[in-house]
Amino acid sequence: MDQQVRDKILKAVDDGFDDQIAYLQKLVSFRSQRGEERPIQDFFFRDLAARGFAVDRFEMNEAMLIAHEGGAPFSAEHSAAPIVVGTLYPREEVGHSLILQHHVDVVPVGPLDMWEHDPYGGEIVGNRLYGRGAGDMKAGASANVFALEALRRAGLRPAATVHLESVVEEEATGNGALQAFLQGYTAEAALVPEPEQETLVRAACGVLWFEVEVRGIPVHVHQMGEGANAIDAAYRVIGALREIEAKWNAEAPEYAHFSGKQLPANLNIGKIEGGDWGSSVPAWCRFQVRVAIQPGEKAQAKFREIEDHVARFARADRFLAQHPPRLTQNGFNAEGYILEPGSEAEKVLGIAHEAAFGTPLETRIAPAYLDARVFALYHQIPVLCYGPKGYVSHGFDEYVDLESLRTTTKSMALFIAEWCGTEAL
């Protein structure tokens, strides 16, 4: 890229950064927890249209999604918000096409009195912008929009088709990104600006979600020896699941990339409920499980392994043998992925990163779910999961580093200009 053009693009990001911060604060103000994302998606639809994108929105198709190997089952909590795609078309297609993708759904905030900053306030203290989703990943959403806006400010636009996808369900199923793929949107590469600490993700794990239900025998507590406590039984099942976790982590050295990660197959009991009355032996208990699987492993095969292990454990338990636990998938059914080195897209991003940051691009392993898996596994294109420094994702006082966001947006704008080519407005 001509140095003069590069400098114009970098200056355009700086010139527009106050607007980008205000835009990010607007995004954070939307309480876009699962099932409540329609207002923010309506905002993106209108905003992208006003910026000159050809816009499309569509619902998720349950039949299509559950028929696909990477689709996750629907539950009562599954979002009904639409997917929004804005597309920029060049006058002449001379560069490489690109998908820019972000998700707008965020996880619950938890007890408000444990936050120092309003989770939907977008407060700025020093170089930090606070709020639920500020890092994960509304900062990336702002970078998608303002990297392209920087080209416009510089009098340019991409010389190849660019699809900007705003999806939901990233935090629970991954069905939003998969639906965009099933809708026919694809390109020669994808960029997903999750808060990856200014690094490129080389590999990410897959994830399974499931619910376990255990039934008990209710009696008055003064006769508790004659009943069976479902909550106590649930804890025994959790112990059996920890055995699976230990087994899978012991197998980790067999896998590329994840062999050095502590607890790559981390298993989380994320939610538990049970019983109806404090003085009754509980008749039921349900708990939610999330567990990671290694790239290359089939999600359904790993779920069957879990089912088989719990069934064997239950057969050896005097009560559970007669009342076996019931396991039901209610979310992620996702395989992991590996970004193989050597793609032209990664090379171009490396050059853009070094021009913006002044340091070589580093890579990292992500022991978490990423929508990037859809592009790697099903589009079968290079997917660059790369974004700013974000902290305390899913925790209290989540925030993004604004200077990191500024420089990452510069890197993304340079990448888009080089990968797609440019033409004058």
Instruction: Collapse the DSSP code of 351 into the 3-class scheme (helix H, G, I; strand E, B; otherwise coil) and give the result.
Output: helix
Is residue 98 a contact partner of residue 189, using CB atoms and an 8 Å limit? yes
State CA 72 to chain mean position distance: 14
> HSE of 346 in the Cβ direction (CA atoms, 13 Å)?
16
Q: What distance separates the 2 farthest-apart alpha carbons in the chain?
A: 83
pTM: 0.96
pLDDT attached to residue 254:
72
pLDDT at residue 251 is higher than 90 = no
Helix axes 139-153, 3-15, angle to 10 degrees: 130
pLDDT at residue 223 is higher than 90 = no
286's enclosing H/E stretch is strand 284-293
DSSP 24: H
pLDDT attached to residue 262:
66
Phi/psi of residue 260, nearest 5 degrees: -95, 0
Q: Which residue in this structure is represented by tokens 């947006």?
A: 409
For the chain, the average pLDDT equals 96
Is residue 261 a contact partner of residue 309, using CB atoms and an 8 Å limit? no
For 20: left if phi > 0, alpha if psi spans -120 to 50, otherwise beta; the answer is alpha
pLDDT at residue 227 is higher than 90 = no
Phi/psi of residue 261, nearest 5 degrees: -85, 135
Q: What is the pLDDT of residues 298-344, one digit of tens each?
A: 999 999 999 999 999 999 999 999 999 999 999 999 999 999 999 99
Q: What is the pLDDT of residues 257-270, one digit of tens each?
A: 877 666 688 999 99
In which band, very low, low, confident or very high, does the pLDDT at 136 lie, cut at 50, 70 and 90? very high
